[in-house]
């Protein structure tokens, strides 16, 4: 069993029930999925970038990345419908908790000058988005073999009904927010 899932069940649920006054463990907010996304706009100029991004995202997530195609044409970006513009992975269950554990214990501490995650990245419905500027903070990616440094977006989807509930849940998991 994943370490964070075990901690969620044994520590976080009772803490939140006591703090928020939930009457049932099923009412306590939980993580439903984590979505990793890489927007690779430069793939229009260089086809190797998309392959490298898919390979890196697959390595980071431990699950095959899906290539995303443009839904509409935008002449200002020289983009045509159907061109590859990014890749994404949706993690659920044990893989989600294992990724979250690696993110919090290994990847985030490797970010230079990290002062905490932005408290303004909640969407109003209890979900949180985090952006990383490069994929090399993950130890699975060998920095010397990386041809293209690529940003990465991480979306944490929860069952929380408000941003305050989601923030409490994420803080209990170990995400530090700026003051």
What single DSSP character describes residue 107? I
The pLDDT tens digits for 129-146 are 999 888 888 888 887 788
Q: Is the pLDDT of residue 77 over 80?
A: no
How sure is the predictor about 164, in pLDDT bands with cuts at 50, 70 and 90? Answer: very high
pLDDT of the residue at 89: 97
Q: Is the pLDDT of residue 153 over 80?
A: yes
Average pLDDT, the chain: 89
Q: Is the pLDDT of residue 51 over 90?
A: no
Sequential DSSP letters for 61-78: HTS--EEEE-SS-BGGGT
Question: In 3-state terms, what secondary structure has residue 153?
Answer: strand
Sheet with strand 31-39: strands edge to edge: 66-69, 84-91, 31-39, 152-158, 128-132
Closest CA to 155 of 111, 115, 77, 99: 99
Domain ranges within the chain, ordered by starting residue: 29-121+128-160
Give residues with Cβ within 8 angstroms of 91, minimum separation 6: 33, 34, 35, 36, 61, 63, 99
Contact 95, 63 (CB under 8 A): yes
Q: How far is CA 75 from CA 38, 41, 81, 85, 148, in A?
A: 22, 14, 10, 14, 25
What is the reported pTM?
Answer: 0.88
Residue 155 bridge partners (DSSP): 35, 129
Contact 46, 160 (CB under 8 A): no
**Out of 3.40.1280.10, 1.10.10.10, 3.30.1440.10, 3.90.1640.30, which CATH number does the structure's domain 29-121+128-160 have?**
3.30.1440.10
**What is the distance between the alpha carbons of residues 147 and 47, in angstroms, rounded to a whole number?**
13
């Amino acid at each position: 069993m994943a370490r964070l899932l075990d901690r969620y069940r044994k520590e976080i649920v009772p803490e939140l029930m006591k703090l928020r006054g939930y009457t049932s463990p099923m009412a306590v907010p939980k993580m439903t999925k984590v979505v990793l996304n890489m927007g690779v706009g430069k793939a229009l100029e260089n086809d190797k970038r998309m392959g490298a991004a898919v390979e890196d995202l697959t390595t980071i997530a431990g699950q095959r990345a899906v290539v995303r195609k443009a839904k509409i044409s935008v002449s200002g970006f020289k983009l045509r419908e159907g061109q590859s513009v990014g890749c994404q992975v949706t993690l659920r269950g044990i893989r989600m908790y294992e990724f979250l554990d690696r993110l919090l214990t290994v990847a985030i501490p490797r970010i230079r000058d990290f002062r905490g995650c932005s408290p303004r990245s909640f969407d109003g419905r209890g979900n949180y988005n985090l952006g990383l500027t490069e994929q090399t903070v993950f130890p699975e990616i060998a920095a010397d073999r990386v041809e293209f440094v690529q940003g990465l977006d991480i979306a944490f989807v929860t069952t929380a009904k408000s941003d305050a509930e989601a923030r409490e849940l994420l803080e209990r998991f170990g995400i530090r927010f700026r003051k």
